[in-house]
């Protein structure tokens, strides 16, 4: 296993739903690489009850046609390996209020928010796309 980055600071992540879905849809992509490293214990995934509900809801969309076993395995893994946070709601304006739990959880946990839709969030240094996040991880781990 690779060494943890900066005493674990960079390894604390919150994954937007699009990262979770993309990790299941396409293997060998930045989202799937990130989730693989969560499963291997290299990254610590933080979530809230609202985030978990969102994951469950979107994973069950008929358009994805994910088998129940994949959905259950993914949610069970997140619950067993992830860290539940109960963040306070921030007053930061968001284009889509449904994104607030991800932002607030990342802030509360001191984690990196990884999203494919970074334009949905304020410009902050802790919000990154999967590709940028992996590039930064590579810089720190060499």
Contact assessment for residue 34 and residue 23, using Cβ atoms and an 8 Å cutoff: yes
Cα–Cα nearest to 96, from 44, 31, 13, 18: 18
| Backbone φ and ψ of 118, nearest 5° | -65, -20
d(CA 109, CA 114) in angstroms, rounded, equals 13
Domain 5-141 in this protein, CATH class: alpha beta
Residue by residue, pLDDT tens for the chain (142 residues) are 233 444 444 589 999 999 999 999 999 999 999 999 999 889 999 999 999 999 999 999 999 999 999 999 999 999 999 999 999 988 888 888 889 999 999 999 999 999 998 888 888 999 999 999 999 998 877 6
Query: Residue ranges of the domains in the chain?
Result: 5-141
């Amino acid at each position: 296993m690779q060494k943890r980055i900066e005493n674990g600071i960079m390894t604390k992540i919150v994954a937007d739903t699009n990262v979770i879905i993309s990790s299941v849809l396409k293997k060998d992509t930045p989202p799937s690489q990130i989730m693989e490293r969560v499963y291997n214990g290299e990254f610590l995934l933080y979530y809230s009850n609202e985030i978990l509900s969102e994951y469950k809801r979107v994973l069950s969309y008929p358009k994805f046609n994910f088998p129940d076993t994949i959905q259950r395995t993914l949610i069970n893994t997140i619950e067993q390996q992830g860290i539940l946070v109960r963040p306070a709601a921030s007053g930061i304006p968001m284009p889509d209020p449904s994104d607030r739990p991800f932002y607030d959880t990342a802030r509360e946990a001191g984690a990196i928010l990884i999203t494919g839709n970074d334009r949905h969030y304020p410009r902050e240094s802790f919000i990154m796309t999967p590709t940028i996040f992996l590039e930064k991880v590579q810089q720190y781990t060499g």
